[in-house]
């Protein structure tokens, strides 16, 4: 029993040391999370302004490559006219001369002639030549814009023809209508008419 106090003292010292050791050991701390930087929102793409439309330039009219005869032949509805021109010996003149304005009756126009009248013309070359020349204005290729402002025009045959224009329609000698205007050729211009032109007689409107 003599050794009891010594044991108590030793035990007390051990407990005290243990308590000090516990106090001196740092308590691990949980690291605070590093704040995550938010990415800046992507800028919305700015729509580019559409370029202003450039006004279209009107296409230039095609340059003609055929003369009066070849153009009429290509159109395909002037068989009778071309045949009569050949019979009258005027083919080369309509190919090579110019500039000329030609009032061209198409096949439908010749079909309106009375029976036997075409054959009668073919038998009289002088009258046929004069009639065909009456459909030609020499020296100029007159387009419809100008033609409509002319009261009269002198033909290759000599006599004049009269011209009237109203509401966009051109009439020759008061009765014959230009049904297709401004067919351009290398040596002139063709205006298609719906009937044959004949010299006017005084006091009477000619066809």
Going from the first residue of the chain to its last (207 residues), give the mean pLDDT of each consecutive group of 10, the final group possibly shorter. Answer: 50 52 50 54 58 54 90 96 97 95 98 95 95 97 96 96 95 96 97 93 55
Quick check: is 135 in a domain?
Answer: yes
pTM of whole model > 0.75?
no
Instruction: Give the domain CATH number at 75.
Output: 2.30.180.10
**Residue 34 is assigned to a structural domain of this protein:** no
The three-class DSSP label of residue 39 is coil
Domain membership of residue 145 as a residue range: 68-193
Torsion of CA 135, 139, 141, 147, to 10 degrees: -70
DSSP state of 158: S
In a domain, 92, yes or no: yes
Q: Is residue 11 part of a domain?
A: no
CA distance 67 to 164: 27
Residue 50 covered by a domain:
no
Does residue 94 sit within a domain? Answer: yes
Helix and strand tally (H, E) in the chain? 8, 7
Please, are residues 177 and 171 in contact by the beta-carbon 8 Å criterion? yes
Total of domains in the chain: 1
Nearest to 155 by CA among 139, 133, 176, 171: 133
């Amino acid at each position: 029993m003599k050794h009891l106090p010594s044991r108590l003292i030793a035990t007390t010292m051990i407990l005290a040391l243990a308590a000090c050791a516990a106090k001196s050991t740092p308590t691990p701390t949980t690291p605070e999370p590093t704040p995550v930087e938010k990415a800046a929102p992507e800028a919305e793409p700015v729509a580019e302004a559409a370029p202003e439309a450039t006004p279209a330039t009107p296409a230039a009219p095609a340059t003609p490559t055929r003369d009066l005869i070849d153009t009429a032949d290509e159109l395909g509805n002037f068989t009778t006219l071309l045949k009569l021109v050949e019979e009258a010996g005027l083919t080369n003149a309509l190919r090579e001369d110019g500039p000329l304005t030609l009032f061209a009756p198409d096949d439908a126009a010749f079909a309106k002639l009375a029976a036997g009248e075409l054959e009668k013309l073919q038998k009289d070359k002088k009258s046929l030549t004069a009639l065909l020349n009456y459909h030609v204005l020499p020296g100029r290729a007159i387009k419809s814009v100008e033609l409509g402002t002319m009261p009269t025009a002198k033909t290759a045959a000599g006599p004049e023809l009269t011209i009237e224009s109203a509401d966009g329609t051109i009439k020759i000698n008061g009765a014959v209508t230009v049904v297709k205007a401004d067919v351009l050729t290398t040596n002139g211009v063709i205006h298609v008419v719906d009937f044959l032109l004949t010299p006017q007689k005084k006091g009477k409107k000619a066809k």
